[in-house]
A and B are shown apart, each in its own frame.
Chain A
Amino acid sequence: MGSPPTGAPLAAGLLLLLLLLAVVLAGPGPRLMAAQHRFRSAPGPALLVWQAVTTAAVLAAVLTGAVGVRLILDGGTTPARVAVAVPAVLVGAGTLALLLLSGHRVGTRLRAARRRHRDLVDVLATPDGRGGPERPGDLRVLDHPTPTAYCVPGLRRRVVLTRGTLERLAAEELDAVLAHERAHLDSRHDLVLEYFTVVHEAVPARVRSEAALREVRLLVEALADRVAARRAGPLPLARALVALAGSAHPEATLGAGPTTAAGAAAVRLELLDRSAPRARVAVMLGFAVGVLAVPLVLAALAWSAAGSAG
């Protein structure tokens, strides 16, 4: 009595901490983070923080399994060890299986939807020279009065506008919209979002945070806005946002689950004129490194405890 625990008991304690960390980083943590709107003023670093938190949650759960395996391999099958190792291995293997399944489902779904959409656009829409000489052939115009603008990411990328968009926007506003879409494509924001979606859908519905996914989507838009504002000017971009948001969609069903946070357009407009103080960015980057270090350190300690006797 009184001596500090070693071996299996110590490993068990550390594994519990790891597990707790994984759960916190998968649900309550992101929920809290999504409510921190200050970080929107630096969308790039904010996305790095989100990626760090997501990756740390995955690491914590998967490394729990690795330590469980070592408990058995290096310490034998005493009842105490088995009692700790079996749940740990189950957590690690279960997490991996869920992630692989989710990755497969999300990836298949997205690629099928994109292929279908690209097939449609390629036979319906007219290629447009406004793509500029450096990007021949990726701009397509659909003959429809409803204004909309989007891109189809992937290897055979497309930027798609409707006739309604061309009629509604001045030349410099259109440049801003195209710059925004090209920023999405050039920075492969689709992959950033796919990663979050895969992890999000791997987490049980009770734990995961929808607000977090919406916040990440908003940050991706804010990041593309930043690039577009640098290229085409913040005012033309702001005018394009208002012009396209104000277009009446006859087939619109308003209020049915927007994919980004409510009032996202207004938030994006606000952000155009704001940049984060250096200190805030430093704090964010420090947090990103720290949140990744915690599961690695805990797992390393548990790993060595699992290999010692006791």
Chain B
Amino acid sequence: MSPRAALGDLEQAVMDHLWSAQEAAGPGWAGVSVREVHDVLGPRRDLAYTTLMTVLDRLAKKGLAERERDGRAWRYRAAASRDRLTAEALRTTLDPLAGDDRRAALLHFLDRSTPEELDDLRAALAELEQRRAERA
């Protein structure tokens, strides 16, 4: 695994930890410190404390995690639930109203079709199948 891929993999593991901790604690949760994350993930994945500090710092800079001062340490929480972030990602790809440029930033396999267009599509596919069968 490349260092970058390893880092991406770690970010996912840390986010998963933040989400499950949030779920276990319910609303009004203050978050976890780097130390607490390290106590759980460190032994399991053989990670240094400083590595997790870097990962959490990156997640905060990306706006995926929020942090608050707690004495001399930071306490981290996920900025939004997994479902909300999934919805955000899909809204960008599916919703034509998400703004043309947010959609244009990605290259889609297909834009949405209306029901009438769908009938035409199926007819065109049937024709194509037939033409190919005749040639074969």
The answer to whether A113 touches B88, judged by C-beta atoms less than 8 angstroms apart, is no
The answer to whether A197 touches B86, judged by C-beta atoms less than 8 angstroms apart, is no
Instruction: Give the dominant DSSP class at B's interface.
Output: helix
List the A side residues contacting B114 at CB < 8 Å.
254-255
List the A side residues contacting B62 at CB < 8 Å.
119
List the A side residues contacting B2 at CB < 8 Å.
137
The answer to whether B125 touches A239, judged by C-beta atoms less than 8 angstroms apart, is yes
Interface size on A, residues (CB 8 A): 68
Give, as a whole number of angstroms, the nearest-CB distance from B96 to chain A.
Answer: 5
How big is the B interface, by class? 35 or more
Q: How far is the CA of A121 from the CA of B120 in the complex (A)?
A: 34
Interface string of A207-220 (1 = CB under 8 A from B): 00000000000001
B72 contacts partner chain A, Cβ-Cβ < 8 Å: no
Question: Which of A8-16, A31-39, A75-83, A259-267 participates in binding chain B?
Answer: A259-267
Identify B124's interface contact among A156, A177, A252, A269, CB under 8 A.
A269
A123-B12, A259-B103, A266-B121 given; A254·B88 CB < 8 A: no
Interface string of B61-81 (1 = CB under 8 A from A): 011100000000000000000
* Chain B residue, CB-CB nearest to A257: B96
Chain B, range 1-25, C-beta contacts under 8 Å to A: 2, 4-5, 8-9, 11-12, 15
Question: Which of A91-99, A138-146, A301-309 participates in binding chain B?
Answer: A138-146
Interface string of A50-88 (1 = CB under 8 A from B): 000000000000000000000000000000000000000
A180-B109, A253-B97 given; A122·B121 CB < 8 A: no
Instruction: Select the residue from B8, B9, B100, B109 with max chain A CB neighbours within 10 A.
Output: B109
* Chain A residue, CB-CB nearest to B120: A266
The answer to whether B125 touches A238, judged by C-beta atoms less than 8 angstroms apart, is yes
* Chain B residue, CB-CB nearest to A185: B107
List the B side residues contacting A262 at CB < 8 Å.
117
List the B side residues contacting A149 at CB < 8 Å.
108-110
A181-B107, A259-B111 given; A150·B93 CB < 8 A: yes
The answer to whether A113 touches B64, judged by C-beta atoms less than 8 angstroms apart, is no
A104 contacts partner chain B, Cβ-Cβ < 8 Å: no
The answer to whether B101 touches A235, judged by C-beta atoms less than 8 angstroms apart, is no
Question: Which of A41-49, A243-251, A290-298 participates in binding chain B?
Answer: A243-251
List the B side residues contacting A127 at CB < 8 Å.
5, 9
The answer to whether B128 touches A258, judged by C-beta atoms less than 8 angstroms apart, is no
Q: How far is the CA of A270 from the CA of B117 in the complex (A)?
A: 13
List the B side residues contacting A121 at CB < 8 Å.
89
The answer to whether B125 touches A269, judged by C-beta atoms less than 8 angstroms apart, is yes
Q: How far is the CA of A162 from the CA of B82 in the complex (A)?
A: 15
Q: How far is the CA of A184 from the CA of B91 in the complex (A)?
A: 21
Give, as a whole number of angstroms, the nearest-CB distance from B95 to chain A.
Answer: 6
A190 contacts partner chain B, Cβ-Cβ < 8 Å: yes
6 closest A-B pairs (Cβ-Cβ)?
A113-B105, A149-B109, A245-B113, A184-B107, A150-B108, A269-B124
The 21 listed contacts between A and B (C-beta, < 8 Å) are: A114-B105, A114-B106, A122-B11, A123-B11, A123-B12, A124-B82, A151-B107, A153-B106, A156-B4, A234-B132, A245-B112, A245-B117, A249-B94, A251-B95, A252-B95, A254-B112, A258-B111, A259-B111, A262-B117, A266-B120, A273-B128
